[in-house]
Chain A
Amino acid sequence: MSTKIVDRKPLSFFENSYLPTLVSGLKVTWKHFKKSAIQGKPLTMEYPEQKWVVPQGYRGAPYLVKDQDNNTKCVSCQLCEFVCPPKAIRITPPGPNGAPADRKNAEKSPAEFEINMLRCIFCGLCQEVCPEEAIFLQKDYSLTGESREEMVYGKARLLQLGGIHGGIQKWKHKLEEAKEQEVFPVHAE
Protein backbone atom coordinates (compact mmCIF):
# COMPACT_ATOMS: atom_id res chain seq x y z
CA MET A 1 0.00 0.00 0.00
CA SER A 2 1.79 3.11 -1.19
CA THR A 3 -1.33 5.21 -0.97
CA LYS A 4 -1.69 7.05 2.27
CA ILE A 5 -5.19 8.00 3.21
CA VAL A 6 -5.20 11.26 5.05
CA ASP A 7 -7.87 11.79 7.64
CA ARG A 8 -9.84 14.90 6.90
CA LYS A 9 -11.15 16.44 10.04
CA PRO A 10 -14.70 17.66 9.71
CA LEU A 11 -14.80 21.45 9.73
CA SER A 12 -16.08 23.18 12.79
CA PHE A 13 -19.08 25.48 12.62
CA PHE A 14 -16.83 28.53 12.64
CA GLU A 15 -14.67 27.16 9.85
CA ASN A 16 -17.76 26.24 7.87
CA SER A 17 -18.89 29.84 7.88
CA TYR A 18 -16.04 30.74 5.49
CA LEU A 19 -14.99 33.50 7.89
CA PRO A 20 -11.48 32.23 8.74
CA THR A 21 -10.68 31.79 5.05
CA LEU A 22 -12.02 35.24 4.30
CA VAL A 23 -9.83 36.80 6.94
CA SER A 24 -6.71 34.93 5.89
CA GLY A 25 -7.38 35.79 2.25
CA LEU A 26 -7.74 39.42 3.19
CA LYS A 27 -4.46 39.28 5.08
CA VAL A 28 -2.56 37.76 2.17
CA THR A 29 -3.89 40.16 -0.44
CA TRP A 30 -3.39 43.15 1.83
CA LYS A 31 0.22 42.12 2.45
CA HIS A 32 0.95 42.04 -1.27
CA PHE A 33 -1.08 45.19 -1.97
CA LYS A 34 0.87 47.05 0.70
CA LYS A 35 4.16 45.89 -0.68
CA SER A 36 3.55 46.82 -4.30
CA ALA A 37 1.13 49.76 -4.08
CA ILE A 38 2.07 51.54 -0.89
CA GLN A 39 5.75 50.73 -0.50
CA GLY A 40 6.22 50.73 -4.27
CA LYS A 41 8.17 47.49 -4.39
CA PRO A 42 6.56 45.21 -6.96
CA LEU A 43 8.29 41.97 -7.83
CA THR A 44 8.35 42.74 -11.53
CA MET A 45 10.95 44.75 -13.39
CA GLU A 46 10.00 47.40 -15.89
CA TYR A 47 11.95 45.85 -18.68
CA PRO A 48 13.16 48.36 -21.22
CA GLU A 49 14.10 50.84 -18.50
CA GLN A 50 15.42 48.35 -15.98
CA LYS A 51 17.47 45.40 -17.11
CA TRP A 52 18.80 42.29 -15.51
CA VAL A 53 22.42 42.30 -14.46
CA VAL A 54 23.52 39.09 -16.11
CA PRO A 55 25.80 36.79 -14.14
CA GLN A 56 29.51 36.27 -14.79
CA GLY A 57 30.07 33.79 -17.59
CA TYR A 58 26.74 34.59 -19.25
CA ARG A 59 26.66 33.59 -22.89
CA GLY A 60 25.23 36.52 -24.78
CA ALA A 61 25.96 37.75 -28.28
CA PRO A 62 29.46 37.08 -29.70
CA TYR A 63 31.45 40.21 -30.54
CA LEU A 64 34.98 40.76 -31.84
CA VAL A 65 37.36 42.30 -29.34
CA LYS A 66 40.47 44.48 -29.63
CA ASP A 67 43.66 44.03 -27.66
CA GLN A 68 45.11 46.46 -25.13
CA ASP A 69 46.78 48.47 -27.91
CA ASN A 70 43.45 48.95 -29.68
CA ASN A 71 44.38 46.56 -32.51
CA THR A 72 42.17 43.94 -34.10
CA LYS A 73 42.88 40.56 -32.57
CA CYS A 74 41.26 38.50 -35.32
CA VAL A 75 43.70 37.07 -37.84
CA SER A 76 41.07 35.79 -40.28
CA CYS A 77 41.89 32.11 -39.72
CA GLN A 78 38.20 31.25 -40.33
CA LEU A 79 38.09 28.55 -37.66
CA CYS A 80 35.02 30.12 -36.12
CA GLU A 81 33.36 30.23 -39.50
CA PHE A 82 33.96 26.50 -39.93
CA VAL A 83 32.90 25.54 -36.44
CA CYS A 84 29.79 27.71 -36.28
CA PRO A 85 26.85 25.24 -36.10
CA PRO A 86 24.16 27.49 -37.60
CA LYS A 87 26.62 29.03 -40.10
CA ALA A 88 26.06 32.49 -38.73
CA ILE A 89 29.63 33.70 -39.22
CA ARG A 90 30.96 34.74 -42.60
CA ILE A 91 34.53 35.96 -42.99
CA THR A 92 35.99 37.62 -46.07
CA PRO A 93 39.78 37.15 -45.93
CA PRO A 94 41.98 40.02 -47.06
CA GLY A 95 43.37 38.05 -50.04
CA PRO A 96 46.98 38.02 -51.34
CA ASN A 97 47.17 41.79 -51.82
CA GLY A 98 45.06 42.78 -48.83
CA ALA A 99 45.97 45.16 -46.09
CA PRO A 100 48.38 43.73 -43.49
CA ALA A 101 47.37 43.21 -39.90
CA ASP A 102 47.55 46.26 -37.66
CA ARG A 103 49.53 44.53 -34.95
CA LYS A 104 52.66 42.50 -34.41
CA ASN A 105 52.61 38.70 -34.44
CA ALA A 106 49.79 38.61 -36.98
CA GLU A 107 49.96 38.32 -40.73
CA LYS A 108 46.51 39.43 -41.70
CA SER A 109 43.15 40.56 -40.40
CA PRO A 110 39.75 40.00 -41.97
CA ALA A 111 38.59 42.32 -44.76
CA GLU A 112 35.04 41.76 -43.54
CA PHE A 113 33.64 39.78 -40.62
CA GLU A 114 29.90 39.28 -40.40
CA ILE A 115 27.78 37.58 -37.78
CA ASN A 116 24.17 37.06 -38.64
CA MET A 117 22.57 37.53 -35.23
CA LEU A 118 19.33 36.02 -36.47
CA ARG A 119 21.15 32.73 -37.07
CA CYS A 120 23.49 32.83 -34.10
CA ILE A 121 22.51 30.44 -31.31
CA PHE A 122 24.93 31.89 -28.73
CA CYS A 123 26.59 28.48 -28.31
CA GLY A 124 30.07 29.84 -27.70
CA LEU A 125 31.92 27.46 -30.02
CA CYS A 126 33.52 30.42 -31.84
CA GLN A 127 34.93 31.68 -28.58
CA GLU A 128 36.17 28.23 -27.69
CA VAL A 129 37.81 27.57 -31.03
CA CYS A 130 39.44 30.96 -31.54
CA PRO A 131 43.26 30.61 -31.26
CA GLU A 132 43.70 34.37 -30.91
CA GLU A 133 41.06 34.99 -28.25
CA ALA A 134 39.54 37.50 -30.62
CA ILE A 135 35.85 36.68 -30.23
CA PHE A 136 33.94 36.52 -26.97
CA LEU A 137 30.39 35.91 -26.02
CA GLN A 138 29.38 39.06 -24.19
CA LYS A 139 26.45 40.11 -22.06
CA ASP A 140 24.03 41.43 -24.65
CA TYR A 141 20.91 39.27 -24.82
CA SER A 142 18.39 41.52 -26.46
CA LEU A 143 19.34 42.37 -30.04
CA THR A 144 16.74 44.19 -32.05
CA GLY A 145 16.55 45.59 -35.54
CA GLU A 146 14.01 46.63 -38.09
CA SER A 147 15.21 44.44 -40.97
CA ARG A 148 17.10 41.23 -41.61
CA GLU A 149 19.98 43.17 -43.14
CA GLU A 150 20.32 45.22 -40.01
CA MET A 151 20.71 42.06 -37.94
CA VAL A 152 23.83 41.03 -39.85
CA TYR A 153 26.50 42.72 -37.78
CA GLY A 154 29.60 43.80 -39.74
CA LYS A 155 33.22 43.99 -38.62
CA ALA A 156 33.20 47.62 -37.55
CA ARG A 157 30.06 47.18 -35.52
CA LEU A 158 31.26 43.98 -33.89
CA LEU A 159 34.57 45.55 -32.93
CA GLN A 160 32.85 48.60 -31.56
CA LEU A 161 30.39 46.54 -29.52
CA GLY A 162 33.10 44.15 -28.35
CA GLY A 163 35.41 46.80 -26.98
CA ILE A 164 38.91 46.23 -25.67
CA HIS A 165 39.54 42.88 -24.09
CA GLY A 166 43.13 43.09 -22.86
CA GLY A 167 42.72 40.68 -20.00
CA ILE A 168 44.18 37.54 -21.46
CA GLN A 169 46.94 38.85 -23.72
CA LYS A 170 47.90 35.58 -25.25
CA TRP A 171 50.96 36.90 -27.17
CA LYS A 172 52.43 38.57 -24.14
CA HIS A 173 52.18 35.31 -22.24
CA LYS A 174 53.66 33.43 -25.22
CA LEU A 175 56.55 35.85 -25.23
CA GLU A 176 57.13 35.39 -21.50
CA GLU A 177 57.05 31.64 -21.97
CA ALA A 178 59.51 31.91 -24.86
CA LYS A 179 61.83 34.04 -22.76
CA GLU A 180 61.64 31.51 -19.98
CA GLN A 181 62.72 28.87 -22.46
CA GLU A 182 65.96 30.82 -22.88
CA VAL A 183 66.74 30.61 -19.20
CA PHE A 184 68.37 27.39 -18.08
CA PRO A 185 67.24 25.25 -16.28
CA VAL A 186 63.60 25.20 -17.39
CA HIS A 187 61.08 25.42 -14.64
CA ALA A 188 59.63 22.10 -13.77
CA GLU A 189 55.91 22.58 -13.49
Chain B
Amino acid sequence: MNVFDYLEPTTQFVIFSAVKIALVFGVTMTFVAYAVLAERKISAWIQDRVGPNRTAPPIAKYLPVIGPILVRLGMFQPMADGLKFLLKEDFTPAYVRKIYFWLAPAIAVIPAFLTLAVIPFGSTLGNPENKMVIADLNVGILYTFGVVSLGVYGIVLAGYASNSKYPFLGGIRSSAQMISYEIAMGMSVVAVFMVVGDLNLGAVIQYQAKYGWMVFHQPLAFVIFLISAFAETNRLPFDLPESESELVGGYHTEYSSMKFALFFLGEYAAMISASAMMVTLFFGGWTLPFISEPASSLLGGLLHIAIFIGKLSVLMVVFIWVRWMLPRFRYDQLMDLGWRRFIPLALGNILATAIVLAFISI
Protein backbone atom coordinates (compact mmCIF):
# COMPACT_ATOMS: atom_id res chain seq x y z
CA MET B 1 0.00 0.00 0.00
CA ASN B 2 1.31 3.42 -0.85
CA VAL B 3 -0.05 6.92 -1.23
CA PHE B 4 -1.10 6.16 -4.79
CA ASP B 5 -3.63 3.55 -3.64
CA TYR B 6 -5.58 6.04 -1.50
CA LEU B 7 -6.56 8.11 -4.52
CA GLU B 8 -9.82 7.61 -6.36
CA PRO B 9 -9.68 5.18 -9.33
CA THR B 10 -10.32 8.03 -11.80
CA THR B 11 -7.49 10.12 -10.39
CA GLN B 12 -5.24 7.09 -10.43
CA PHE B 13 -6.12 6.46 -14.05
CA VAL B 14 -5.44 10.07 -15.01
CA ILE B 15 -2.07 10.14 -13.24
CA PHE B 16 -1.04 6.78 -14.66
CA SER B 17 -2.06 7.79 -18.18
CA ALA B 18 -0.23 11.11 -17.91
CA VAL B 19 2.93 9.32 -16.83
CA LYS B 20 2.58 6.86 -19.70
CA ILE B 21 2.03 9.66 -22.21
CA ALA B 22 5.06 11.56 -20.95
CA LEU B 23 7.21 8.44 -21.09
CA VAL B 24 6.05 7.37 -24.54
CA PHE B 25 6.54 10.89 -25.86
CA GLY B 26 9.98 11.19 -24.32
CA VAL B 27 11.12 7.78 -25.51
CA THR B 28 9.78 8.44 -29.01
CA MET B 29 11.54 11.79 -29.23
CA THR B 30 14.81 10.19 -28.17
CA PHE B 31 14.18 7.39 -30.61
CA VAL B 32 13.60 9.92 -33.39
CA ALA B 33 16.88 11.66 -32.58
CA TYR B 34 18.78 8.41 -32.65
CA ALA B 35 16.93 7.20 -35.73
CA VAL B 36 18.34 10.24 -37.51
CA LEU B 37 21.78 9.27 -36.28
CA ALA B 38 21.22 5.69 -37.41
CA GLU B 39 20.12 6.99 -40.78
CA ARG B 40 23.29 9.01 -41.13
CA LYS B 41 25.55 6.24 -39.89
CA ILE B 42 24.00 3.48 -41.99
CA SER B 43 23.94 5.65 -45.08
CA ALA B 44 27.60 6.45 -44.45
CA TRP B 45 28.51 2.81 -44.15
CA ILE B 46 26.58 1.84 -47.24
CA GLN B 47 28.35 4.60 -49.16
CA ASP B 48 31.79 3.59 -47.82
CA ARG B 49 32.04 6.62 -45.56
CA VAL B 50 32.51 6.99 -41.82
CA GLY B 51 29.59 9.19 -40.83
CA PRO B 52 29.32 11.51 -37.82
CA ASN B 53 32.31 10.82 -35.59
CA ARG B 54 33.42 14.18 -34.21
CA THR B 55 30.75 15.66 -31.99
CA ALA B 56 32.01 15.51 -28.44
CA PRO B 57 30.66 17.53 -25.53
CA PRO B 58 33.24 18.42 -22.87
CA ILE B 59 32.13 15.50 -20.69
CA ALA B 60 33.24 13.02 -23.33
CA LYS B 61 36.85 13.66 -22.31
CA TYR B 62 36.26 12.39 -18.79
CA LEU B 63 34.75 9.05 -19.79
CA PRO B 64 37.78 6.78 -19.80
CA VAL B 65 37.28 4.03 -22.40
CA ILE B 66 33.71 4.45 -23.51
CA GLY B 67 34.00 8.18 -24.31
CA PRO B 68 36.07 7.88 -27.49
CA ILE B 69 33.92 4.96 -28.65
CA LEU B 70 30.74 6.98 -28.17
CA VAL B 71 32.25 9.94 -30.01
CA ARG B 72 33.36 7.62 -32.77
CA LEU B 73 29.81 6.25 -33.11
CA GLY B 74 28.42 9.79 -33.14
CA MET B 75 26.33 9.25 -30.02
CA PHE B 76 26.41 12.94 -29.16
CA GLN B 77 25.47 14.08 -32.65
CA PRO B 78 21.69 14.14 -32.00
CA MET B 79 22.21 16.69 -29.21
CA ALA B 80 24.14 18.95 -31.54
CA ASP B 81 21.52 18.51 -34.24
CA GLY B 82 18.70 19.38 -31.86
CA LEU B 83 20.55 22.41 -30.57
CA LYS B 84 21.22 23.54 -34.11
CA PHE B 85 17.53 23.40 -34.98
CA LEU B 86 16.63 25.38 -31.88
CA LEU B 87 19.18 28.10 -32.51
CA LYS B 88 18.64 28.57 -36.23
CA GLU B 89 16.86 31.60 -37.57
CA ASP B 90 13.17 30.94 -38.06
CA PHE B 91 12.57 32.60 -41.38
CA THR B 92 9.10 33.17 -42.80
CA PRO B 93 9.14 34.27 -46.45
CA ALA B 94 7.03 37.34 -47.24
CA TYR B 95 4.87 35.65 -49.84
CA VAL B 96 3.56 32.71 -47.82
CA ARG B 97 0.04 32.30 -46.47
CA LYS B 98 1.00 32.87 -42.87
CA ILE B 99 -1.69 31.06 -40.89
CA TYR B 100 -1.46 27.85 -42.90
CA PHE B 101 2.30 28.17 -43.05
CA TRP B 102 2.46 28.09 -39.26
CA LEU B 103 -0.21 25.46 -38.92
CA ALA B 104 1.20 22.92 -41.38
CA PRO B 105 4.22 21.67 -39.40
CA ALA B 106 2.05 21.09 -36.34
CA ILE B 107 -0.52 19.16 -38.36
CA ALA B 108 2.26 17.10 -39.90
CA VAL B 109 3.78 16.11 -36.59
CA ILE B 110 0.75 15.52 -34.38
CA PRO B 111 -0.87 12.49 -36.13
CA ALA B 112 2.41 10.60 -36.07
CA PHE B 113 2.49 10.86 -32.30
CA LEU B 114 -1.24 10.30 -31.83
CA THR B 115 -0.97 6.91 -33.52
CA LEU B 116 1.30 5.70 -30.77
CA ALA B 117 -1.53 6.03 -28.26
CA VAL B 118 -3.13 2.73 -29.19
CA ILE B 119 0.04 0.69 -29.57
CA PRO B 120 0.49 -1.85 -26.76
CA PHE B 121 4.21 -1.38 -26.16
CA GLY B 122 4.36 -3.80 -23.24
CA SER B 123 2.12 -6.06 -21.18
CA THR B 124 1.91 -4.71 -17.62
CA LEU B 125 4.32 -3.62 -14.93
CA GLY B 126 3.13 -6.28 -12.50
CA ASN B 127 -0.38 -5.00 -11.84
CA PRO B 128 -2.68 -6.62 -14.47
CA GLU B 129 -5.06 -3.65 -14.40
CA ASN B 130 -2.47 -1.23 -15.70
CA LYS B 131 -1.85 -2.21 -19.27
CA MET B 132 1.16 -0.77 -21.05
CA VAL B 133 -0.87 1.03 -23.66
CA ILE B 134 -2.02 4.64 -23.42
CA ALA B 135 -5.53 4.05 -24.77
CA ASP B 136 -6.80 0.48 -24.85
CA LEU B 137 -9.39 1.15 -27.54
CA ASN B 138 -11.59 -1.57 -28.92
CA VAL B 139 -11.41 0.09 -32.33
CA GLY B 140 -7.67 0.64 -32.19
CA ILE B 141 -6.95 0.08 -35.84
CA LEU B 142 -9.80 2.27 -37.05
CA TYR B 143 -8.49 5.05 -34.84
CA THR B 144 -5.03 4.55 -36.29
CA PHE B 145 -6.19 4.81 -39.86
CA GLY B 146 -8.32 7.82 -39.04
CA VAL B 147 -5.39 9.63 -37.48
CA VAL B 148 -2.81 8.57 -40.05
CA SER B 149 -4.92 9.95 -42.87
CA LEU B 150 -4.81 13.34 -41.13
CA GLY B 151 -1.06 13.37 -41.66
CA VAL B 152 -1.51 14.15 -45.34
CA TYR B 153 -3.12 17.49 -44.47
CA GLY B 154 0.09 18.78 -42.93
CA ILE B 155 1.98 18.17 -46.13
CA VAL B 156 -0.75 19.39 -48.46
CA LEU B 157 -1.19 22.50 -46.35
CA ALA B 158 2.55 23.11 -46.32
CA GLY B 159 2.59 22.85 -50.10
CA TYR B 160 -0.33 25.23 -50.44
CA ALA B 161 0.79 27.72 -47.80
CA SER B 162 4.31 28.05 -49.17
CA ASN B 163 2.84 29.73 -52.25
CA SER B 164 5.65 28.63 -54.54
CA LYS B 165 5.88 26.02 -57.24
CA TYR B 166 8.07 23.27 -55.80
CA PRO B 167 6.26 22.92 -52.48
CA PHE B 168 2.99 23.01 -54.39
CA LEU B 169 4.03 20.12 -56.64
CA GLY B 170 5.28 18.24 -53.59
CA GLY B 171 1.99 18.79 -51.82
CA ILE B 172 -0.04 17.56 -54.78
CA ARG B 173 2.11 14.49 -55.18
CA SER B 174 1.92 13.61 -51.54
CA SER B 175 -1.85 13.93 -51.37
CA ALA B 176 -2.28 11.63 -54.37
CA GLN B 177 0.28 9.19 -53.07
CA MET B 178 -0.95 8.99 -49.50
CA ILE B 179 -4.59 8.66 -50.47
CA SER B 180 -3.76 5.86 -52.94
CA TYR B 181 -1.66 3.84 -50.57
CA GLU B 182 -3.97 4.26 -47.63
CA ILE B 183 -6.53 2.15 -49.46
CA ALA B 184 -4.09 -0.69 -50.05
CA MET B 185 -2.84 -0.40 -46.49
CA GLY B 186 -6.31 -0.51 -44.98
CA MET B 187 -7.30 -3.46 -47.15
CA SER B 188 -4.19 -5.42 -46.25
CA VAL B 189 -5.07 -5.06 -42.58
CA VAL B 190 -8.65 -6.21 -43.08
CA ALA B 191 -7.42 -9.75 -43.72
CA VAL B 192 -5.46 -9.68 -40.47
CA PHE B 193 -8.51 -8.71 -38.46
CA MET B 194 -10.62 -11.31 -40.21
CA VAL B 195 -8.23 -13.91 -38.88
CA VAL B 196 -8.11 -12.44 -35.38
CA GLY B 197 -11.75 -11.49 -35.13
CA ASP B 198 -11.12 -8.40 -32.98
CA LEU B 199 -10.11 -4.82 -33.69
CA ASN B 200 -8.36 -4.32 -30.37
CA LEU B 201 -4.61 -4.38 -30.85
CA GLY B 202 -4.10 -6.11 -27.51
CA ALA B 203 -6.32 -8.92 -28.76
CA VAL B 204 -4.20 -9.16 -31.94
CA ILE B 205 -1.15 -9.70 -29.78
CA GLN B 206 -2.90 -12.32 -27.66
CA TYR B 207 -3.91 -14.17 -30.82
CA GLN B 208 -0.34 -14.11 -32.11
CA ALA B 209 0.99 -15.33 -28.77
CA LYS B 210 -1.31 -18.32 -29.09
CA TYR B 211 -1.13 -19.18 -32.79
CA GLY B 212 2.19 -17.74 -33.98
CA TRP B 213 3.14 -14.49 -35.61
CA MET B 214 0.72 -12.99 -38.10
CA VAL B 215 3.47 -12.52 -40.67
CA PHE B 216 3.38 -16.31 -41.20
CA HIS B 217 -0.44 -16.40 -41.41
CA GLN B 218 -0.72 -13.38 -43.71
CA PRO B 219 2.59 -12.88 -45.56
CA LEU B 220 0.94 -11.09 -48.48
CA ALA B 221 -0.82 -8.67 -46.15
CA PHE B 222 2.49 -7.97 -44.48
CA VAL B 223 4.25 -7.23 -47.77
CA ILE B 224 1.49 -4.88 -48.85
CA PHE B 225 1.40 -3.20 -45.46
CA LEU B 226 5.19 -2.77 -45.41
CA ILE B 227 5.37 -1.22 -48.86
CA SER B 228 2.35 0.98 -48.21
CA ALA B 229 4.00 2.11 -44.99
CA PHE B 230 6.99 3.26 -47.02
CA ALA B 231 4.66 5.25 -49.22
CA GLU B 232 2.66 6.63 -46.30
CA THR B 233 5.75 7.88 -44.51
CA ASN B 234 7.19 9.37 -47.71
CA ARG B 235 10.32 7.30 -47.50
CA LEU B 236 12.41 6.21 -50.44
CA PRO B 237 11.66 4.59 -52.84
CA PHE B 238 8.43 6.59 -52.57
CA ASP B 239 9.73 9.98 -51.43
CA LEU B 240 8.16 11.83 -54.34
CA PRO B 241 6.69 14.62 -52.21
CA GLU B 242 10.20 15.49 -51.10
CA SER B 243 12.39 14.38 -54.04
CA GLU B 244 15.37 16.69 -53.57
CA SER B 245 16.66 16.17 -57.07
CA GLU B 246 13.59 17.46 -58.86
CA LEU B 247 11.56 19.49 -56.35
CA VAL B 248 14.40 21.08 -54.36
CA GLY B 249 12.93 19.98 -51.05
CA GLY B 250 9.32 19.37 -51.98
CA TYR B 251 6.74 20.53 -49.48
CA HIS B 252 9.28 21.83 -46.98
CA THR B 253 11.35 23.90 -49.39
CA GLU B 254 10.29 27.19 -47.80
CA TYR B 255 10.61 26.02 -44.22
CA SER B 256 13.56 26.60 -41.96
CA SER B 257 14.63 26.10 -38.39
CA MET B 258 12.19 24.50 -35.97
CA LYS B 259 9.34 24.44 -38.47
CA PHE B 260 11.45 22.34 -40.80
CA ALA B 261 12.55 20.27 -37.82
CA LEU B 262 8.90 19.48 -37.09
CA PHE B 263 8.43 18.02 -40.57
CA PHE B 264 11.61 16.08 -40.12
CA LEU B 265 10.48 14.89 -36.74
CA GLY B 266 7.07 14.04 -38.12
CA GLU B 267 8.62 11.87 -40.82
CA TYR B 268 10.66 9.88 -38.35
CA ALA B 269 7.83 9.70 -35.82
CA ALA B 270 5.61 8.38 -38.61
CA MET B 271 8.26 5.77 -39.38
CA ILE B 272 8.30 4.79 -35.73
CA SER B 273 4.55 4.54 -35.48
CA ALA B 274 4.38 2.56 -38.72
CA SER B 275 7.06 0.22 -37.40
CA ALA B 276 5.24 -0.06 -34.08
CA MET B 277 2.06 -0.89 -35.96
CA MET B 278 3.85 -3.59 -37.95
CA VAL B 279 5.40 -5.05 -34.82
CA THR B 280 1.98 -5.19 -33.21
CA LEU B 281 0.09 -6.56 -36.19
CA PHE B 282 2.61 -8.94 -37.71
CA PHE B 283 5.44 -9.65 -35.30
CA GLY B 284 3.64 -10.41 -32.07
CA GLY B 285 4.11 -7.08 -30.30
CA TRP B 286 5.87 -7.48 -26.97
CA THR B 287 5.76 -11.26 -27.05
CA LEU B 288 8.34 -13.75 -28.12
CA PRO B 289 7.45 -17.37 -28.94
CA PHE B 290 8.56 -18.41 -25.43
CA ILE B 291 7.53 -15.25 -23.53
CA SER B 292 3.84 -14.76 -24.11
CA GLU B 293 2.21 -14.40 -20.67
CA PRO B 294 1.54 -10.85 -19.42
CA ALA B 295 4.25 -9.91 -16.96
CA SER B 296 3.65 -10.49 -13.27
CA SER B 297 6.60 -8.45 -12.05
CA LEU B 298 8.18 -5.07 -12.79
CA LEU B 299 11.26 -6.69 -14.32
CA GLY B 300 9.16 -8.88 -16.62
CA GLY B 301 7.20 -5.82 -17.72
CA LEU B 302 10.39 -3.95 -18.57
CA LEU B 303 11.62 -6.99 -20.47
CA HIS B 304 8.46 -6.95 -22.56
CA ILE B 305 8.98 -3.28 -23.35
CA ALA B 306 12.58 -4.04 -24.28
CA ILE B 307 11.43 -6.81 -26.64
CA PHE B 308 9.00 -4.40 -28.26
CA ILE B 309 11.67 -1.72 -28.71
CA GLY B 310 14.08 -4.33 -30.07
CA LYS B 311 11.63 -5.43 -32.75
CA LEU B 312 10.86 -1.80 -33.49
CA SER B 313 14.55 -1.04 -33.97
CA VAL B 314 14.96 -3.91 -36.43
CA LEU B 315 12.10 -2.56 -38.54
CA MET B 316 13.55 0.94 -38.37
CA VAL B 317 16.84 -0.40 -39.72
CA VAL B 318 14.88 -2.01 -42.56
CA PHE B 319 13.29 1.38 -43.30
CA ILE B 320 16.69 3.06 -43.33
CA TRP B 321 18.39 0.31 -45.28
CA VAL B 322 15.79 0.36 -48.03
CA ARG B 323 16.21 4.11 -48.39
CA TRP B 324 19.85 3.66 -49.40
CA MET B 325 19.17 0.61 -51.52
CA LEU B 326 16.48 1.59 -54.00
CA PRO B 327 16.20 4.58 -56.31
CA ARG B 328 13.05 6.67 -56.41
CA PHE B 329 10.07 5.42 -58.39
CA ARG B 330 8.71 7.36 -61.30
CA TYR B 331 5.39 8.96 -60.50
CA ASP B 332 3.32 6.84 -62.88
CA GLN B 333 5.05 3.68 -61.67
CA LEU B 334 4.16 4.64 -58.14
CA MET B 335 0.50 5.09 -58.99
CA ASP B 336 0.52 1.91 -61.07
CA LEU B 337 1.94 -0.06 -58.16
CA GLY B 338 -0.61 1.36 -55.76
CA TRP B 339 -3.79 1.12 -57.77
CA ARG B 340 -3.22 -1.68 -60.23
CA ARG B 341 -1.22 -4.11 -58.15
CA PHE B 342 -1.65 -3.63 -54.45
CA ILE B 343 -5.34 -2.91 -54.31
CA PRO B 344 -6.30 -5.98 -56.40
CA LEU B 345 -3.80 -8.06 -54.47
CA ALA B 346 -5.17 -6.89 -51.14
CA LEU B 347 -8.73 -7.54 -52.31
CA GLY B 348 -7.73 -11.01 -53.47
CA ASN B 349 -6.09 -11.62 -50.13
CA ILE B 350 -9.27 -10.69 -48.31
CA LEU B 351 -11.25 -13.03 -50.52
CA ALA B 352 -8.82 -15.91 -50.06
CA THR B 353 -8.76 -15.38 -46.30
CA ALA B 354 -12.53 -15.34 -46.20
CA ILE B 355 -12.76 -18.60 -48.15
CA VAL B 356 -10.20 -20.32 -45.95
CA LEU B 357 -11.90 -19.08 -42.79
CA ALA B 358 -15.27 -20.25 -44.06
CA PHE B 359 -13.86 -23.74 -44.71
CA ILE B 360 -12.29 -23.86 -41.26
CA SER B 361 -15.52 -22.85 -39.53
CA ILE B 362 -17.45 -25.55 -41.41
Contact = CB atoms under 8 A, between A and B. Distances in A.
Interface of A: 21-22, 25-26, 28-29, 32-33, 35-37, 42-44, 46
Nearest to B324: A29
17 contacts: A21-B326, A22-B325, A25-B325, A28-B325, A29-B321, A32-B47, A33-B42, A33-B46, A36-B44, A36-B45, A36-B46, A36-B49, A42-B44, A42-B50, A43-B48, A44-B49, A46-B53
Contact of B48 (A21, A26, A44, A46): A44
A140 B46 CA distance: 33
A11 to B, nearest CB: 12
Contact of B326 (A22, A37, A44, A46): A22
A44 B51 CA distance: 10
Interface of B: 42, 44-50, 53, 321, 324-326
B325 A36 contact: no
Given A32-B48, A44-B48, A44-B50, 13 more contacts: A22-B325, A26-B325, A29-B324, A29-B325, A33-B42, A33-B45, A33-B46, A36-B46, A36-B47, A36-B50, A42-B49, A43-B49, A46-B53
Nearest to A25: B325
Contact of B46 (A29, A44, A46): A29
Contact of A46 (B44, B45, B50, B321): B50
Chain B interface, >50% SS class = loop
Contacts of B325: 22, 25-26, 28-29
A32 B45 contact: yes
A37 B326 CA distance: 20
Contacts of A21: 326
A29 B48 CA distance: 10
A43 B46 CA distance: 11
A25 B50 contact: no
A28 B49 CA distance: 15
Contacts of B53: 46
A1 B53 CA distance: 55
Nearest to B47: A32
A33 B50 CA distance: 11
A176 B44 CA distance: 60
A44 B53 CA distance: 13
A22 B44 CA distance: 20
A22 to B, nearest CB: 7
A25 B325 CA distance: 6
A31 B321 CA distance: 13
A87 to B, nearest CB: 39
A51 to B, nearest CB: 16
A18 to B, nearest CB: 8
B321 A42 contact: no
Counting from the closest, the 5 A-B pairs by CB-CB distance are A37-B45, A43-B48, A25-B325, A36-B45, A29-B325
Contacts of B46: 29, 32-33, 36
B326 A25 contact: yes
A46 B51 CA distance: 10
Contacts of B45: 32-33, 36-37, 42
Contacts of A37: 45
A35 B48 contact: yes
Nearest to A16: B341
B316 to A, nearest CB: 16
A37 B45 CA distance: 6
A26 B318 CA distance: 11
A68 to B, nearest CB: 44
B146 to A, nearest CB: 31
A36 B324 contact: no
Contacts of B44: 36, 42
B48 A36 contact: yes
Nearest to B50: A42
Contacts of A26: 325
Contacts of B47: 32, 36
A77 to B, nearest CB: 48
A22 B321 CA distance: 12
B56 to A, nearest CB: 14
A37 B50 CA distance: 8
Contacts of B324: 29
Contacts of A44: 48-50
